[in-house]
Amino acid sequence: MKKIFLLSAVAGTLILTSCGSEAGDKTEATEQQKVAESTGVTFTVDTVGSKVSWVGTKIGGSHAGDFKLTEGSLTVTDGKLSAGKFVISVASNNVTDIDEANGKSKLEGHLASADFFEVEKFPTASFEITGVTVADSSVASKVANANAVISGNLTLKGVTKNISFPAAVVATETSVEAKADFDIDRSEWGLNYKGPDNPQDWVISKSVNIKLDLKASK
């Protein structure tokens, strides 16, 4: 019976991971890169108006939430986004798809524990832009009007990896907005429930959807 259960769990996870990866644009984690220099006009990220949200899936369902930003800036050179950084308060993780009666605080506490984010040791995460290129017609994206491909170092739980994703960027003389919708493999940053080889981790999709909605102004 144990073998049958484990095989069923693995099969379910593979199906779930495949479906989950369709939620946003795919990313591939690589070694960290040199951060882009801020040599243009700098805009301060609106930490209240900006939003970083997530969706994690598992066999039988999913959960969603969001994080607050603590600080950030975006740099524009010749009218185009060229550099920037923002810091995410992982400790502010807010589960949005369930209420207290259905275990909201319990889930937030579990995600904050050493089983996942270990926020006592790693209270923040950060993203630093390493490069921005124009998204040509060959770049397909879940984001409407994606006109750029942003590459950057994502630091989470003490691990830094470089990822790239399409984004819709609008830059004016007074403001910058950037939207993106992509998936990351949580295991690349050590987010494994009780270890990467634990059967309890297998029923959770490794693919986590991240949505960025950044707003910055002078």
Is the pLDDT at 136 greater than 60? The verdict is yes
How far is the C-alpha of 45 from the C-alpha of 84, rounded, in Å?
Answer: 9
Structure-block tokens of residue 103? 């275990």
Q: Each residue of 62-111: pLDDT tens digit?
A: 999 999 999 999 999 999 999 999 999 999 999 999 999 999 999 999 99
pTM of the model: 0.86
Enclosing H/E stretch for 4: helix 2-20
User: Can you tell me the mean pLDDT for 201-214?
Assistant: 88
Per-residue pLDDT, 53: 97
Q: Each residue of 154-193: pLDDT tens digit?
A: 999 999 999 999 999 999 999 999 999 999 999 999 988 7
Nearest to 65 by CA among 217, 216, 218, 211: 211
Q: Give 13 or 97, the one with higher predicted confidence.
A: 97
Could you tell me the pLDDT band of residue 20, with boundaries at 50, 70 and 90? very low
Domain ranges of the chain: 2-217
Top CATH class of 2-217 equals mainly beta
